[in-house]
Chains A and B, each alone.
Chain A
Amino acid sequence: MEKLKSGAIFWFPFSYRGGVVANTGFMLLGADGNIFMCVGNPTDIQFIGLRATAAILPDEEAAPAEDDSMDFSMV
């Protein structure tokens, strides 16, 4: 608790359903004084130089935002 109060954020593998790949759990002390566990996934972010321009693609606005594809880690 003392470490949480000092601003430490603990992270650990977290898997609610089990499976091959765990998510990442973060335990931290919220601004309201409660302890929270947030769950997320590490993402690939990259530093970009001059040559790496973004691809200009048409907006995918029309595409439905339905993502119910199967998660193989649940198998």
Chain B
Amino acid sequence: MPEISLANNKARDAAVMAESVRFQTLVRWIDAEERQATSARLLKATIDNDYETLLKKAGSPQAVAQALVDGDPEIDLESACTFMRDSKRVYINSDRQVVYAVTEIEIVRNPDGSERMRREKKNTLPNVNVEKQPLLWSGKFMSKREVATKFVIVSKLQIMHINGLTYDFLLGIARELEQKNSLMLVGAGPKANQPLILRRGSLPYRGFLEGRTKGDEYCLLLHLSNLELKAPAPAPAGEGKPS
């Protein structure tokens, strides 16, 4: 995860690490020989063997069915079930050719799922790293209950020190937040009011910083949300009903 630049309430900033938290492993999957089972990605078929290509060759769905009965045209024995590693996603056009200049369109939807607008997707750049302005101390505190009932927390990062100096720095922040028994709104930019973009092209998030301490140990969590806990407004009478 990224190195982020964080400031405390005295406007002193430091570069620290934001690490992903792990899910608790409750069940471990093993094979018949008690070896750890892991996910693997296998190639099912290439574009030369998929239905559209077979249809084009055969001429009709019935002919494709007959070809499948007669042989295995959908399987390329050289490539089928090979392990896929270091693969990249490519885009193809209607002629099934790889395209290189793609314009991505973002569809903005209303809370009820209907489309509000389409716009060219912006290539967002991260705004939390040390090259940018540090994440300033916003001083905007919200109770845990308020955050829990207004926002959907979709992810969280644990803020960690990288040396002795940053340990003291983060322990101090965690202590202060714990004393306030609140989460602090974290935003990017000079006014700490812009959404956090952690990686290039990633979703913007609101950040809520929570601090806990236990003796000389601390736990500093950055809760991330891009969704308000809000039910969509009811549709006007008659709308959405079959005509």
Interface residues of A (CB under 8 A from B): 7, 9, 20-21, 28-32, 34, 36, 38, 40-50, 52-56, 59-61, 64-66, 69-70, 72-73
Contact = CB atoms under 8 A, between A and B. Distances in A.
A53 B19 CA distance: 11
A48 B217 contact: yes
A39 B24 CA distance: 15
B81 to A, nearest CB: 15
Contacts of B200: 61
Nearest to B40: A70
Interface stretch (B100-108, B113-121, B148-156, B179-187): B148-156
Interface of B: 1-3, 16-17, 19, 21-24, 26-27, 29, 37, 39, 41, 88-89, 126, 129, 145-146, 148-150, 152-153, 156, 158, 160-164, 167, 199-200, 202, 212-214, 216-219, 221, 229-231
A63 to B, nearest CB: 9
B150 A53 contact: no
Given A61-B126, A61-B200, A54 B161 contact: yes
Closest 6 CB pairs of A and B: A54-B17, A54-B160, A47-B217, A69-B39, A43-B21, A34-B231
A31 B150 contact: yes
Nearest to A26: B148
A45 B220 CA distance: 9
Contacts of A55: 17
Nearest to A20: B27
Given A42-B24, A46-B219, A64-B88, A59 B145 contact: no
A59 B126 CA distance: 11
Contacts of A48: 158, 160-161, 217-219
A44 B218 contact: no
Contacts, number: 102
7 contacts: A32-B231, A38-B229, A41-B23, A47-B217, A48-B158, A59-B3, A60-B1
Given A30-B231, A41-B24, A47 B89 contact: no
A50 B164 contact: yes
B167 A50 contact: yes
Contacts of B158: 45-46, 48
Contacts of B88: 64
Given A47-B214, A47-B217, A48-B160, A36 B199 contact: no
A21 B29 CA distance: 11
B24 A44 contact: yes
A73 B156 CA distance: 23
